Amino acid sequence: MLVLSRKINESIQIGTDIEIMVIDVRGDVVRLGITAPQATQIWRKELWDIIVQENKAARSEERRVGKECR
């Protein structure tokens, strides 16, 4: 994991088309601004983890149902 320190209004650049800027820091809450192509999906990690888990469960269920139908 790369760990960087940034101050308000400082950014990091990811590749050629994604920029993440620190907008505000209040206590332990950091507000970030993200500039990325519109086609780039951006998710909060806790939501992404739920989506991945639900997709795995759905695939598992599809396989189970598929075996029952044979």
Residues in the chain: 70
| C-alpha radius of gyration, the chain, whole number | 19
Element (H, E) at 57: helix 45-68
| pLDDT, position 8 | 98
* 11-14: strand order across its sheet: 11-14, 18-26, 29-35
Question: What's the whole-model pTM score?
Answer: 0.75
Whether 27 shows a pLDDT value over 80: the answer reads yes
Whether 61 shows a pLDDT value over 90: the answer reads no
Name the one residue in this structure whose structure tokens are 């139908």.
Answer: 69
Helices (H) and strands (E) in the chain, counts: 1, 3
